[in-house]
A and B are shown apart, each in its own frame.
Chain A
Amino acid sequence: MSDDYQRPPAEVRFAAELERLRADDSGPVPPGWALSLTAARRFIVGDDALGVRRKFVGDTSLIDRALVTLATSRGLMLVGEPGTAKSLLSELIAAAVSGASTLTIQGGAATTEDQIKYSWNYALLVSEGPSTRSLVPAPLLTGMAEGKVVRFEEITRCPLEVQDALLSPLSDRVLAIPELSGAVARGRGGSSPHTGQSAVAGGRGGSSPRTGQSTDAMVFARDGFNVIATANTRDRGVNEMSAALKRRFNFETVFPIADFATELDLVEQEAARLLEHSGVRAAPRRDVLEVLVTAFRELRNAATEDGRSMDRLSAVMSTAEAVSVAHQVGVRGWFLRGEAGGAADIVECLAGTAAKDSPEDLARLRRYLEQQAPRRGGEQWKALHAARHLLPG
């Protein structure tokens, strides 16, 4: 069914792997989870014996901590620079833990509580009043009712008061729908509480603890519910998080790939895939990619590989950006000259990536090419230095 989707969710893409892991799973499964912790971990870090591919290049201990956090009563907050695969990681974890990664809230300046908790079908609301039938659950409500992991992307891009909607779901594990308590008390609406129309009713099945109120007015989280939020360190200061909310999360910082060889391999592999897709028939040159990846790492870390400190670029120099530059380099080389693309193309593409619209970054980049590039040996570094005049301005 997913053949013509551009990008099916992780649980569909890796359905076969998940199935094999489930069949092989002998570990204790936390309540509400689809897999045991060990199987979930193998899903992400890979397991050659079962033919499970490694999907996240990073510290294994990070995965361990993330999974154990989700099994406890705190939420998981993935923070890091843009392009460090936080969202991918959150998707993979959700797919492994709940078998579903689509309960996702995308944070933004315009995100409202409606999009997080629930909203109403206004036609029904007007005709019937508030009822479970007219209720439209948002991801948080669905996740709580069904006991699934809810993903909250870019949480710090939401206004503070919207973020705080998570407070009571995370600490008390309950979500109040005050409109519904009124509905029962006044005997209005006329709908049965168990119409099975909504996720709330379907998931809960009337088994809520007795509260003296209407059972619909309080949605208690089922086992397996938790929240994975991601936040971008570049957005810090746009909207801070309240201390109260911070306390309810365990923070995990996702770092750029630490190992040069691993990053180079990843860039080569991804760039080759993209280039093939673009109809380029020359594979990217390893020595050119080496220069590219080194330059990206150095500009990102604000220090050269031999420890000379530099100024940090304000542009994002992530692995993903490196792949996109490698792709551009290949396309330029092939369609303009019929070859794989070289250091001069890197300079031309870097101007667009690294120095998007900031003259300061452009100056930093120029200084890097002028003073650091000639210190390296190798033909491609020489070419990079020689091509420095291609930078605009």
Chain B
Amino acid sequence: MAVTFIGVRHHSPACARLVRDTVRRLRPAYVLVEGPADFGGRVDELLLGHEPPVAVYSYYRDAERVHSSWSPFCGYSPEWVALNEGRAAGAELRFIDLPAWHPAFAGRSNRYADAERRYTEVTERLCREFAVDNTDILWDHLFEIDTGGAAERLDAYFALLRGEAEAGEDDTARESYMAEWVRAAAADAGDRPVVVVTGGFHKPALEALTASRDGASGGTGWPGVPEPPEDATGGSFLVPYSFRRLDAFTGYQSGMPSPEYYRRVWEDGPESAAGALIETVVGRLRERKQVVSTADLIAARTLTEGLTRLRGHPAPARTDLLDGLVSALVNDDLDQRLPWTSRGPLAPGAHPAVVEMVAALSGNRVGRLHPDTPAPPLVDHAAAELERLRLDRDGPVALKLTTPRGLERSRALHRLRVLRIPGIERDSGPATGADPVLEERWVLDGSDHGGHRLSALIEAGAYGPTLEDAAAAVLDERMNGAGTDMERLADVLFDAALCGCAGQSDRIAESIAAGIAGASDIGALGAALAAVLGLWRHDRVLGTARSPLFGTVIAECVTRVLWLAEGVRGGPAPADLQRLRAVAATRDALLHAAGPLRLDRDAALGVALRVAAEPGAPPDLRGAAFGLGRALGDTSDPARAVRGAAGPQTFGDWLAGLFALARQEVLDPDASVLGVLDELVGALSDEDFLVALPALRQAFEFFPPRERESIAQGLLDRRGLQGSARALLRTPDAPLLTAEARALEARVDQALSSAGLLLDERSEPGGEGGRPLADNTEES
């Protein structure tokens, strides 16, 4: 038989060229391509004449798992070229790999990721041997630039990779399935040639599996396409794709980077790709008002030339170009490693020249599907859902979230809203997790203005086949994108709650956790924590009570708030209410969620005690930490701590911190806190009292009126006075007037005593200095 195996790296123009030449030369009867077999009957859809990049999107859902993945094709993908050239040569086209829903693909979102990425030892050795920094550079060095004799070198390379690496079970399952197809096609083709295009990592195994046609490994009948289990839903359809998304796969999911560069290599060859890219980079930089002089360009050109020769390339390779440009254009120290050396994504704050270089190589090309392509299932599904829920009409709709049907309708509308489908507007409804609003008002406009709605639905179709899946995928993307911005994260999480999508996502828990772990704004963290804690603890309406995703968020936020709190330094400053709320939210989480979420209360107590005792920490935070410690079971004497915080500059702020966390300490009649406070305030001099007053007022604002009254009562009792505590809370005159009167009196006293008309000691025992605390509450 004449089976020609071509082992390729996905998205490699050199491999695409090899495929093209082979198919043209052999004019095979069959071209078999590594791709989802369940899409095999619809290969024609792929050949309608789309503008790549496009992708086959596959989804799957059963009781246990939800999985979605992409098989992306660019114009220079070997698989794409194999299909197009195969069709042109009159060959039968087949996809021969397992469907994307198959357990062998569990956890993979990019079918065309580099398989050998999972087996790094041998590639690391090769990189050392060739003295290059990573496998992308190695690949360019070996194959993309010098294309003579590529087939043999590719064989040797992949044989080496496969020979050293122990393939996993998943690979073995896929390979034996692909081998069945190869045997069947070979048998059917008879003498005519068959071309098999698969990932190079699988090629040696496929050759071995098909070498003995009559061997024990199976017959030559066409294999069936595996069917998903009964209770599962799944399918595949075509979606437009983009270079940006193609380049955004990271880790095990990633394939070849820099799609725009390789597109140019495929179309024009490396020399002109290099020239065009220098032009693009310089154009982009100048657009952003970065200086790129002619001298810089000459230097970049010279350096690229030099690097090309030093590395023995016949034409500049991708990194020769990038290295030349970076040497010439960057006249500062960098604060992160170059992304093409470290193979990592760019972190914020990268040098603008580097950012533009990476962006120029990545490109912003977006694929377009041919108009005859069948619409994605979401379009029909959305229409059916709206009809079923009687939402396919215009005008206002009022929903009760407390009824199952109301909730279902609300969720459908929210899902459409997060998918940005036009004609769906919410007028009112709960605005945060803590909002006790149980009704929503919407205004619907079902008329399709100029096809906007349909095109929005088709676009959203790339995220999933149903409203729920698509909304969940969009929310996932937004959560990933929120990064360390806690406000955005809180928004997305609330949207997830409204859409009923807060339950399932384990996949993004990690990236959310990473975002929280990098957040630095303690106030925003606290706000997010408070909102999510509310949803996690109470929300039975939206069904988010005990949601594991929210649980993760809470646990991470608590850890992070404690970490940040211990690092805050600062002298006396007005109490930072957001920060205090963050500590309060942390206390709530520790008190109410510590068990189920396994939060470490002892560690938190340790932090609280250290912050409370840290003289360098701001007073409000120290007070709050002291309150947190009390709430977590610390038994140190609050009266003593209050005394320790005395000082007119810091006193009020410290109390604000304490009251934000632990008001009960003051109200408790057994505790001596009130007495100590009374004594301390009473001992303040006039000047000091004025300094302390604003902060004290703010501190006591944490008490609701009823509690303020009981404090006033306590003060009366201490003095053994009768009277209305409530009356103490109100003064007949405006506080400003009172203050002015006092100031005037003081001035008069001063004038009198300087004229010798007043005995000096008069002001001392009389009582201005002995002002009781009641004065303060009076004015607040």
**Interfacial residues, chain A to chain B (CB-CB below 8 A):** 37-38, 41-42, 45, 59-62, 64-65, 67-69, 71-72, 74, 79-80, 231, 233, 236, 246-247, 249-253, 255, 258, 303-304, 306-311, 360, 363-364, 367, 370-371, 374
**Does B751 have its Cβ within 8 Å of any Cβ on chain A?**
no
Contact partners of B616 in chain A: CB under 8 A: 363
Q: In chain A, what residue has the closest Cβ to B520?
A: A309
6 further interface pairs, Cβ-Cβ under 8 Å (given A61-B338, A251-B332) = A64-B307, A79-B332, A303-B518, A309-B484, A371-B603, A374-B603
B299 touches A68 (CB 8 A): no
Assembled-state Cα–Cα distance A275/B567 (Å): 36
Contact partners of A371 in chain B: CB under 8 A: 562-563, 566, 603, 607
Known: A247-B295, A251-B330, A309-B520. A60 touches B132 (CB 8 A): yes
Scoring B residues 320 to 339 as 1 if CB is less than 8 Å from chain A, else 0, what string do you get?
00011011101111100110
Top 5 A-B pairs, shortest CB-CB distance: A68-B306, A79-B333, A308-B517, A253-B334, A250-B327
B311 touches A64 (CB 8 A): yes
Interface centre among A38, A64, A233 (most CB of B within 10 A): A64
Assembled-state Cα–Cα distance A62/B562 (Å): 41
**Does B272 have its Cβ within 8 Å of any Cβ on chain A?**
no
How many A-B pairs have beta carbons closer than 8 Å: the answer is: 108
Assembled-state Cα–Cα distance A250/B353 (Å): 14
A50 to chain B, nearest CB (A): 13
B527 to chain A, nearest CB (A): 19
B303 touches A68 (CB 8 A): yes
B129 to chain A, nearest CB (A): 8
Assembled-state Cα–Cα distance A84/B184 (Å): 59
Assembled-state Cα–Cα distance A307/B607 (Å): 21
Known: A45-B131, A371-B603. A65 touches B563 (CB 8 A): no
B323 touches A65 (CB 8 A): yes
Contact partners of B319 in chain A: CB under 8 A: 61
B64 to chain A, nearest CB (A): 27
Assembled-state Cα–Cα distance A236/B334 (Å): 13
Q: In chain B, what residue has the closest Cβ to A80?
A: B333
Contact partners of B341 in chain A: CB under 8 A: 59, 61-62
Q: In chain A, what residue has the closest Cβ to B560?
A: A308
Contact partners of A370 in chain B: CB under 8 A: 566, 606-607, 610
B566 touches A65 (CB 8 A): no
B133 touches A60 (CB 8 A): yes
Q: What are 8 A-B contacts with C-beta separation under 8 Å? A: A45-B131, A59-B337, A65-B323, A231-B333, A258-B337, A367-B566, A370-B606, A371-B563
A309 touches B518 (CB 8 A): yes
Contact partners of A74 in chain B: CB under 8 A: 299
Q: In chain B, what residue has the closest Cβ to A232?
A: B333
Q: In chain B, what residue has the closest Cβ to A78?
A: B333
A32 to chain B, nearest CB (A): 15
**Does B554 have its Cβ within 8 Å of any Cβ on chain A?**
no
Interface centre among B310, B311, B332, B517 (most CB of A within 10 A): B310
**Interfacial residues, chain B to chain A (CB-CB below 8 A):** 131-133, 137, 295, 299, 302-303, 306-307, 309-312, 319, 323-324, 326-328, 330-334, 337-338, 341-342, 484, 514, 517-518, 520, 560, 562-563, 566-567, 569, 603, 606-607, 610, 616
Interface of B is mostly: helix
Known: A64-B311, A307-B517. A250 touches B299 (CB 8 A): yes
Interface centre among A41, A59, A68, A80 (most CB of B within 10 A): A68
B303 touches A251 (CB 8 A): no
Assembled-state Cα–Cα distance A370/B560 (Å): 13
A384 to chain B, nearest CB (A): 15
Contact partners of B302 in chain A: CB under 8 A: 72
A61 touches B299 (CB 8 A): no
Contact partners of B342 in chain A: CB under 8 A: 258
Q: In chain B, what residue has the closest Cβ to A37?
A: B310
Contact partners of A72 in chain B: CB under 8 A: 299, 302-303, 306
Known: A64-B323, A371-B562, A371-B566. A251 touches B331 (CB 8 A): yes
A318 to chain B, nearest CB (A): 15
A307 touches B327 (CB 8 A): no
B133 touches A61 (CB 8 A): yes
Contact partners of B330 in chain A: CB under 8 A: 251
Across the interface, B303 reaches (CB within 8 A) one of A69, A249, A307, namely: A69
Assembled-state Cα–Cα distance A334/B341 (Å): 41
Contact partners of A363 in chain B: CB under 8 A: 567, 569, 616
Contact partners of B307 in chain A: CB under 8 A: 64-65, 68
Q: In chain A, what residue has the closest Cβ to B614?
A: A363
Contact partners of A307 in chain B: CB under 8 A: 514, 517-518
Assembled-state Cα–Cα distance A113/B524 (Å): 54
B702 to chain A, nearest CB (A): 28
Contact partners of B337 in chain A: CB under 8 A: 59, 255, 258
Assembled-state Cα–Cα distance A370/B337 (Å): 30
Q: In chain A, what residue has the closest Cβ to B340?
A: A61
Q: In chain B, what residue has the closest Cβ to A44?
A: B131
Contact partners of B332 in chain A: CB under 8 A: 79, 251
Assembled-state Cα–Cα distance A303/B606 (Å): 22
Contact partners of A367 in chain B: CB under 8 A: 563, 566-567
Assembled-state Cα–Cα distance A370/B341 (Å): 35
A250 touches B563 (CB 8 A): no
Known: A68-B307, A370-B610. A252 touches B137 (CB 8 A): no
Assembled-state Cα–Cα distance A308/B333 (Å): 24
A196 to chain B, nearest CB (A): 36
Contact partners of A69 in chain B: CB under 8 A: 303, 327
A311 to chain B, nearest CB (A): 6
Contact partners of A38 in chain B: CB under 8 A: 310, 312
Assembled-state Cα–Cα distance A291/B606 (Å): 23
Across the interface, B131 reaches (CB within 8 A) one of A60, A249, A303, A364, namely: A60
Contact partners of A309 in chain B: CB under 8 A: 484, 517-518, 520
A67 touches B310 (CB 8 A): yes
Assembled-state Cα–Cα distance A320/B311 (Å): 31
Assembled-state Cα–Cα distance A74/B300 (Å): 11
A157 to chain B, nearest CB (A): 15
Known: A37-B310, A307-B514. A251 touches B333 (CB 8 A): yes
B333 touches A253 (CB 8 A): yes
Assembled-state Cα–Cα distance A361/B309 (Å): 48
Q: In chain B, what residue has the closest Cβ to A28?
A: B309
